Amino acid sequence: MEYIYFQGKLVKKDSKDISFLDRGILYGEGLFETLRVYNGEAFLLDKHIARLKKGCSVLGINCDTDDLSTGGIRSVIDANNIVEGSLRITVTGGGKKGLLPAPDSKCTYFITGKPGSPYSPEHYSKGYKGLISSIKRNPYSPLTYLKSLNFLENILAKKEAYDAGYDEAIFLNVKNFLTEGSITNLFIIKDGEVLTPDEKCGLLPGITREVVIDICNKNKIPVKEKSNLSLSDLISADEAFLTNSLIEIMPLVKINKHLINNDRPGSLTKRLSILYKDYIKICSSP
Amino acid sequence: MEYIYFQGKLVKKDSKDISFLDRGILYGEGLFETLRVYNGEAFLLDKHIARLKKGCSVLGINCDTDDLSTGGIRSVIDANNIVEGSLRITVTGGGKKGLLPAPDSKCTYFITGKPGSPYSPEHYSKGYKGLISSIKRNPYSPLTYLKSLNFLENILAKKEAYDAGYDEAIFLNVKNFLTEGSITNLFIIKDGEVLTPDEKCGLLPGITREVVIDICNKNKIPVKEKSNLSLSDLISADEAFLTNSLIEIMPLVKINKHLINNDRPGSLTKRLSILYKDYIKICSSP
């Protein structure tokens, strides 16, 4: 039996406790975070909670995240026997009537979790194929910068890529510069330099993205955030990779019909993957 | 007691029957329609159901809308004693696991409804004040053209306007052309001609918008859909108004700091409001 943590208590996974009038289901008003569990601990929980709080402030959701980050996370990990696995925290604007949010309304929140590695070793050894999405990211919307429950654009892009035989969709912005993947951030390696689209291009500033930039800096690997990376930069890259909390570092070996590094994960990508694994060990050792 | 129609049965308004794993609450994957009830009948139901079906096809939601449009609508109107009032139909992608939708998964659907006129006579006699939103509409996203549960951009824009003392937010697109309001379509009147942004600017093609264009054509009032209307066109307009199914035709008498028609509803706007009321009478008389 799987369990979900719902506002202070554990409930069964197939419970139905969400109101028809919840602003999450009516408008997608809310936020989520996906986290990895290593050694029975939620990885970089503080950073995820900080991003969630920031998002709540933008959306005007009144959420005290203390119960989530203390009791909730622990309860879900323990109840579902997660040593290695993944978690999702969902927060909505709650059940207030009318279109406008109210700062005094109570949020709805729940945490789901499951054991197991979300991706297999084959995924990493083969690498991902990326397709440029027909949807373009909008830098002029606050939603572009939030992990909100308005996630349909990402789903439609991912489906478009998947239906065409690709693993991930990559968004250009409305000015045709590279931004991010449907559930990942994008990195390019060119002449030994690690490049990633700047946040202002219109992307969710990922926590793994931030860690990878830190790892580069600490290991004296040149790294830059750039606001004008184009598709041709990606096509002509020496290597490329994608990041998110669940996927960690995934080599990107193809974009549209163009192979990157001859369809194989590159050497600096591999080095960064090892450095990221080391970072996990340091952060999650007891 | 208010009742909601939920998948073939009436339930109490404060019921909680939505699963934690519903794609509506997890991703905002779904669509909605808001309708007016006149004389105990859902107005232009066929058009709303047709738009809903089109949206389901774009999102890959497998929804047989027969039960909604026959039993569901009637049940909600009767159970809540609605002679004049409003309805909302909500459809989500249901409970399928994983990010990608599946065409064989069953949708979730429900209908809420309440009696009463949503807007008062004072609203119409005073008219609405509009504020240009800091958020810009993205013509390069399929979501812009759907009434989806990804409604947060609209809410944030409406809140921005409301907090600044305005009634409605008006979106420019990423090229700075006029598109629509947060919950309305926009019309301008200039030299006796009725102008409205073309769908391709990036807007939801409203059902009331379509009816207003038809009414203009039938009454030989010149009307055009235009792809390059700018804020200065709105500022210099002789009259302006907003439409949606619940609001019908609402005069727009101010945009940012600029008064339109001296802060008063214009004469052609008033004439169109009367023609729209006539149209309602014709369509909803027994």
Do the Cβ atoms of A27 and B60 come within 8 Å? no
CATH for the B3-115 domain, from 3.30.470.10, 3.10.450.50, 1.10.3720.10, 3.30.750.24:
3.30.470.10
User: Which residue in A has a C-alpha nearest to residue B167's C-alpha?
Assistant: A100
The whole-number average pLDDT for the span B201-219 is 98
| pLDDT surpassing 80 at residue A106 | yes
Identity of the residue in B15, B112, B155 whose CB atom sits nearest the CB atom of A101: B155
pLDDT for the residue numbered A65: 87
Do the Cβ atoms of B18 and A18 come within 8 Å? yes
- Range of weakest confidence among A219-228, B2-11, B15-24, B93-102: B93-102
pLDDT for the residue numbered A285: 74
CATH fold of the domain at A121-284: D-amino Acid Aminotransferase; Chain A, domain 2 (3.20.10)
Identity of the residue in A13, A18, A29 whose CB atom sits nearest the CB atom of B155: A29
Residue B128 contacts residue B59 (beta carbons within 8 Å) = no
Average pLDDT along chain B? 96
Nearest to B91 by CA among B72, B103, B109: B109
B2 touching A (Cβ < 8 Å) = no
B246 touching A (Cβ < 8 Å) = no
* Residue pLDDT, tens place only, A187-216: 999 999 999 999 999 999 999 999 999 999
| pLDDT surpassing 90 at residue A101 | no
Identity of the residue in B19, B20, B27 whose CB atom sits nearest the CB atom of A149: B27
Beta strand A128-132 pairing with A248-255: parallel
| pLDDT surpassing 80 at residue B183 | yes
Average pLDDT along chain A? 96
Shortest CA gap B247–chain A (Å): 14
Provide the chain A residues 57-116 that lie in CB contact (below 8 A) with chain B.
59-60, 90, 92, 99-101, 110, 112
In chain A, beta strands by DSSP E = 3-6, 9-12, 30-38, 41-42, 85-92, 108-115, 128-132, 168-172, 178-181, 185-190, 193-197, 223-226, 239-244, 248-255, 258-259
Nearest to B244 by CA among B158, B143, B142, B132: B158
Shortest CA gap B12–chain A (Å): 10
Distance of alpha carbon B207 from alpha carbon B192, whole angstroms = 23
The whole-number average pLDDT for the span B59-64 is 92
Distance of alpha carbon B118 from alpha carbon B115, whole angstroms = 9
* Residue pLDDT, tens place only, A119-146: 999 999 999 999 999 999 999 999 999 9
Top-confidence residue, B189 or A103: B189
The whole-number average pLDDT for the span B28-47 is 97
Beta strand A41-42 pairing with A193-197: unpaired
**Percent share of chain B, pLDDT over 70:** 100
pLDDT for the residue numbered A1: 83
* Residue pLDDT, tens place only, B138-178: 999 999 999 999 999 999 999 999 999 999 999 999 999 99
| pLDDT surpassing 80 at residue A286 | no
B183 touching A (Cβ < 8 Å) = yes
What ipTM was predicted for this assembly?
A: 0.96
The whole-number average pLDDT for the span B273-281 is 97
| pLDDT surpassing 80 at residue B285 | no
Instruction: Work out the number of other CB atoms within 10 angstroms of the CB of residue B283.
Output: 13
Shortest CA gap B109–chain A (Å): 10
| Domain extents in chain B | 3-115, 121-284
The whole-number average pLDDT for the span B102-125 is 92
pLDDT for the residue numbered A284: 79
Structure-token match 């912005």, residue found: A173
pLDDT for the residue numbered A45: 97
| pLDDT surpassing 90 at residue A104 | no
* Residue pLDDT, tens place only, B215-254: 999 999 999 999 999 999 999 999 999 999 999 999 999 9
